[in-house]
Structure 1
Amino acid sequence: MIRSFLLTSAACAALAAPAAAQNPASGTIAIVNARLEPISGPAIASGTIILRDGKIAALGAGVMAPAGATVIDAKGGVVTPGLIAPSSNLTASEISGVRETRDDGTGTALSAAFDISYSVNPASPMIGLARDGGITASAVTPVLSGVGGGSHEHADDGVVEEMTAGASGSGDPPLFGGQAAFVRLQAGDSDLVEASKLAVTVSLGESGARAAGGSRGASIVLIKSALEDARAFARNRAAFEQGATRDYGLSRLDLQALIPVVQGKTPLLVRVHRASDIRLALKLAAEEKVRIILEGAEEGWVVAAEIARAGFPVILDSQANLPDSFETLGSRLDNAAKLHAAGVTVAINGARDFNNLRQERLNAGLAVANGLPYAAGLASVTLVPAKIWGMDGKIGSLEVGKAADVVLWTGDPLETTTWAEKVFIAGVEQPKDSRQTQLRDRYAAPDNGMPVAYR
C-alpha cells in the first residue's frame, strides 16, 4: 500500500512539474505599492516592479503583478537600485589593526601588478553587514603599502605603512597600490568578482611624497618615469626578454600592468586631497594622456571648474569637513554640492573601511542637506559608481533588462530613520544576517549548562 501511495505521489509530481515550468511567473517577484526611484528617470510615486530570471522584467505605475508571482506589498516604501560602494576594502580586509587579516595592499615585490581580485574573500563576515545597509556591490581598491614599523591613516587612503625608498633593493620605490576589482555581494556565491584590473591606484600628496622617499615633486617625477618606462617596455618587449634594453625602474609585471594605463584603456585611481595636488593630478593626466579618477579631493571645490573641464569623476566622503591634516585644511560639508554645480561627476563613499560602508547612504543624505540635489544624491551611490567602473550596462538603475539588484526601503533611503527591509541581488532575496546578528542569536540562546565559549 505504501509503495502504491509513493508511485501515485511521484506520478502527480511528474504531472505538476511541466505545468510549473510552463508558468512564466514561476520564480517571479512583484513589489507593489512602492515609490520607485529608477535613477535613470523621474521617480514613480506609486508603482510596481517585476523581478524575473535575475533581471528587471517591468516597472511602472500601470504594471500589474503576473499571475502566480510572489507579491510583496511595499506599503508606500521606496525601491531603489542596490547601493554601490565606489571604493572600499570590503572582502579584502577584515581587521584594520591586524596585518594578517589585511589583503588590500602588497609589499615591495609588486606595485602596479598587484591584483586585488585574488584577495577577495566571499566568506567575509563583513559582507552581511554591508548588505544590511543596502549595498549590493562594491569596487575593491588596493592601498599603497610597504615596509616599516609606523603607519599613517587617512580617511581615504586607509592605513598606509611607511615606505622606504628603494626598499625592494633595486629600482624605484613602489608608488602604485595595485589593480582594482568589482564585486557583487550575493550570498552563497563562491566567486563574487564581477570584473578585475579596472584601475591602477596611486597616491599623491603626503602619502605619495612618503612613498617616493622625498617630496610631492619626487612622486610626480617617479610616476612620470614609470609611465615612460611602460611605454618603452610595450614597444620593446622582445628586446627586454633578450636583455637588450636599458634598465627600467619597475619589474616586468608592474610595467605590464601599466600598459593599459598608458594606452588609455584603464584609468589611474588617484588618491589626492589638497587643491594644489589635484591640479598636479590633472596636469599629469594631460601631459601623459591618461585617464584618472580622483578619490578624496577634500579641497576639490577650490578647483571644481578645472576638474569639470578635464571631465574626470570624483569619489569623496561628504563627512570630511575638518582639517585633520595639512592637506585637508579646506575641507567643507558642501564639497559635493559645489563640485556637482560645476559639472563634476560625483560619487559618494561611506568611508573606505568595511565597518562604515553602511554610512554611504547617510553621507549622500548629508551632501543633499548641504546643497546637493536629491536626484544627484541618489545617483552618487548607485548609477554614478556603476558608470565610473563600467558596470552601468548591468546595474546602477532600475531599467528593464538590467540585473535585479534592488532594495526595498522603509522610507527615504537618505534618512537616518530608514532601513533596508528587503535586499535582492540578481532577483534573489538576500538573507538578513551579519556577524553581529549571528553573535546576538548565539549568545541570546539558553546556555544549557555549557560555558559561553562553547555555545
Structure 2
Amino acid sequence: MKRLLTAIAVAAITSLPALAQTVAVTNGRVVTNTDGGVLNNGTVIIRDGDIVAVGTGLDLPQGAEVIDANGGWITPGLFHPATQLGLIEVGAESSTRDTAADESVFNATLRVSDGFNYEGSHIDESRIDGITRFALYPSTGSSILAGRGALADSSGEAGSLFADDQFMLVDLSRSGARTAGGSKPAAWAYLRAALNDARTYPGRYMSSQTGIVLNRADAQAFEAAARGEMPIIFAMDDNADILRLIAFKEENPGLRVVIMGGAEAHTVAQELANADIPVILDPMRNLPDSFDVLSSSMEAAGLLFDAGVDVAFSTAASDSYFNTRLLTQHAAISVAHGADWADAFRAVTLTPAEIYGYGDRFGALAPGYAGDLVVWDGDPLEVMSAPTHVFIEGEAQSMETRQTRLAQRYAEIRSDAEYAYHH
C-alpha cells in the first residue's frame, strides 16, 4: 500500500506552480484507506486528475481551487462491485433492458459494454450518493455462462466505461442449475465441459464450429478466463457449493475465482480465507428465499472479516440498477451487526477495486491514486449523511439529477400559478 508523502516530497510538490486542474480539499476527516489511517483536519491535493499529496498542515499550491470540507469527512469515491447501471432503465419494460439474451446462440461472447448507456438516469442518482466507480454485470441467458463484465465511472459521459472484458460471470446458484438442465450436477458438468472447450481452443475448432458444449465464438471468449487471465465471478450461495468451488479451484489452480452472493459463505469463512477467494456479499441479505440461503445472517460480514476473507459489499437485496445508491446503508448494517467500521468502509471502496485489479488506482487517498474523492457532511455510513462534493479524476461532478430537479420544481410552485405545468 502506498504511504503518505514525506515532508520533503510534500514541500517539493507544493512549491511547484499550480495548474488549472489543481484542487485542494481541506479541513476534513480524511479516510485514507492506507497505513496512514484517518487524518483529522486533513487535506487532499489533486493535480491533473491524480492525487499528489495527502496529509495535515500542508501548504496549498498557489492558485489551486480550494474546497473547504467544513469539518466533514473526505473519503475515496465508492466502488460498487456488482451493478446493472446503464443496462436497465425501467425494470418492467423489456425494451429498456440489455442484461441478458435468453434466445441468443451466444453466451460467453456477450459483452455488457455493447449495451451500456452512459446517460442512464440511475447513474446520476448513484453519483450524488458517492458512487464514482462500478462494475457492470450481465444476467444469465440460455447458459450458465452469462458473459463478460466491464467497469465504468459515474460521470455520465461518453468514455465513462474505462475497462472492458474484465471478468466472466458464471451462474452456479439455484438459477444456474435450472438453466443448465435442472440440477447442480448439470451445471457443474457444463462448466467442466466449457473449460475443456476453451482450453483446447482453437485446436478443437480447426475442423468444426462446435466443441463439447461451446460454439467457436463462446470458446474464444471464455479462453482468457479458463486460462486465468481474467477473474471468473461464480454466483452461488450454498455452503456445500462453496466448498465444491474451493476444491474445484485446487484442481484448477490457475483460475482466478471470486464468489458473488455467498449467503452462507460465513459458515465456511476460514476455508475461503485459506483458499484466498474473495466474496461479493450483500450484508442486508438475511431472508431465506430458498434452501441455498437458510444460514444467511446479518452477522455474516463480520464473521468473514474476522476470518480474513476479502469482502466487497453489494446491494443485491435492494436492487442492482436503481438502488445502488444504498451501498453505504448496506455497509452500515454490517457495522450494526458486528463488523468493524474500517472493514465495512473498505468493502465499498478499496476491496472492490482490488478484486478487479485496480487496487493501485482506485479506492484509497494516497499519491498516485486517481482523484476520485467524496466530501460528506458526516460519517458516510450514517444514514442521514450525504455528499456535498463528488470528484472523479479531479473533476467536480454535478450534484443535480432528474429527481433533484423535479423535487425543486414542485417544492417551489408559485401561489399565483394555477397549474403545475405553468411553473
TM-score over 0.5 (shorter chain):
yes
Match of 1:115 in 2: 111
Secondary structure in structure 1 of the residue aligned to 2:200: helix
State the alpha-carbon separation in 2 of the partners of residues 214 and 39 from structure 1.
Answer: 44
1:354 to 2:321 alignment: yes
1:258 to 2:222 alignment: yes
State the alpha-carbon separation in 2 of the partners of residues 99 and 442 from structure 1.
Answer: 30
State the alpha-carbon separation in 1 of the partners of residues 111 and 61 from structure 2.
Answer: 44
Identify the range of structure 1 (84-93 vs 436-445) with the bigger mean alpha-carbon deviation.
436-445
State the alpha-carbon separation in 2 of the partners of residues 396 and 443 from structure 1.
Answer: 37
1:207 to 2:171 alignment: no
Alpha-carbon shift at residue 64 of structure 1 (Å): 2.1
Identify the range of structure 1 (24-33 vs 383-392) with the bigger mean alpha-carbon deviation.
24-33
1:285 to 2:288 alignment: no
Match of 1:12 in 2: none
Secondary structure in structure 2 of the residue aligned to 1:355: coil
Q: For the Cα contact (< 8 Å) 1:130–1:354, is it kept in 2?
A: no
1:308 to 2:273 alignment: yes
1:125 to 2:121 alignment: yes
Residues 212-223 of structure 1 correspond to what in structure 2 (within 5 A)?
A: 212-223=180-191
Match of 1:87 in 2: 82
State the alpha-carbon separation in 2 of the partners of residues 318 and 255 from structure 1.
Answer: 35
Alpha-carbon shift at residue 385 of structure 1 (Å): 0.3
Alpha-carbon shift at residue 120 of structure 1 (Å): 1.2
Identify the range of structure 1 (320-329 vs 405-414) with the bigger mean alpha-carbon deviation.
320-329
State the alpha-carbon separation in 1 of the partners of residues 420 and 69 from structure 2.
Answer: 40
Larger Rg: 1
Q: For the Cα contact (< 8 Å) 2:283–2:298, is it kept in 1?
A: yes
Secondary structure in structure 1 of the residue aligned to 2:323: helix
State the alpha-carbon separation in 1 of the partners of residues 303 and 257 from structure 2.
Answer: 20
Secondary structure in structure 1 of the residue aligned to 2:407: helix
Match of 1:139 in 2: 135
Q: For the Cα contact (< 8 Å) 1:313–1:345, is it kept in 2?
A: yes
The letter of the residue matching 1:75 is: N
Match of 2:283 in 1: 318
Alpha-carbon shift at residue 432 of structure 1 (Å): 0.7
State the alpha-carbon separation in 2 of the partners of residues 112 and 451 from structure 1.
Answer: 53
Q: For the Cα contact (< 8 Å) 2:18–2:64, is it kept in 1?
A: no
The letter of the residue matching 2:153 is: R
State the alpha-carbon separation in 2 of the partners of residues 82 and 292 from structure 1.
Answer: 25
2:24 to 19, 27, 30: 30
Alpha-carbon shift at residue 28 of structure 1 (Å): 1.9
Match of 2:303 in 1: 338
Match of 2:4 in 1: none
Secondary structure in structure 2 of the residue aligned to 1:227: helix
The letter of the residue matching 1:72 is: I
| Length-normalised TM-score, structure 1 | 0.84
State the alpha-carbon separation in 1 of the partners of residues 400 and 84 from structure 2.
Answer: 20
State the alpha-carbon separation in 2 of the partners of residues 454 and 229 from structure 1.
Answer: 64
State the alpha-carbon separation in 1 of the partners of residues 320 and 161 from structure 2.
Answer: 19
Q: For the Cα contact (< 8 Å) 2:77–2:349, is it kept in 1?
A: yes
Q: For the Cα contact (< 8 Å) 1:55–1:426, is it kept in 2?
A: yes
Identify the range of structure 1 (368-377 vs 299-308) with the bigger mean alpha-carbon deviation.
368-377
| Corresponding residue pairs, total | 402
User: Kindly, what percent of the aligned residue pairs are identical?
Assistant: 35
State the alpha-carbon separation in 1 of the partners of residues 337 and 408 from structure 2.
Answer: 39
1:63 to 58, 66, 77: 58
Secondary structure in structure 1 of the residue aligned to 2:165: strand
Alpha-carbon shift at residue 224 of structure 1 (Å): 0.5
1:426 to 2:404 alignment: no
Match of 2:212 in 1: 248
1:175 to 2:171 alignment: no
The letter of the residue matching 2:225 is: V
Secondary structure in structure 2 of the residue aligned to 1:138: strand
Match of 1:98 in 2: 93
Secondary structure in structure 1 of the residue aligned to 2:391: strand
Alpha-carbon shift at residue 442 of structure 1 (Å): 4.6
Match of 1:231 in 2: 199
**Structure 1 gap ranges (5+):** 1-21, 147-173
Per-residue CA deviation, residues 95-147 of structure 1 (Å, 9 max, x unaligned), is: 2222211112223321111111111111111111001110001010111024x
Match of 1:160 in 2: none
Identify the range of structure 1 (272-281 vs 311-320) with the bigger mean alpha-carbon deviation.
272-281
Residues 408-447 of structure 1 correspond to what in structure 2 (within 5 A)?
A: 408-443=375-410
CA distance 1:247–1:360, shift in 2 (3 Å): closer
**Structure 2 gap ranges (5+):** 1-15
1:185 to 140, 154, 175: 154
Q: For the Cα contact (< 8 Å) 2:193–2:212, is it kept in 1?
A: no
Q: For the Cα contact (< 8 Å) 1:126–1:435, is it kept in 2?
A: no
State the alpha-carbon separation in 1 of the partners of residues 210 and 132 from structure 2.
Answer: 47
The letter of the residue matching 1:81 is: P
Secondary structure in structure 2 of the residue aligned to 1:197: strand
1:268 to 2:235 alignment: no
State the alpha-carbon separation in 1 of the partners of residues 96 and 132 from structure 2.
Answer: 23
CA distance 1:52–1:225, shift in 2 (3 Å): same
1:381 to 348, 358, 368: 348
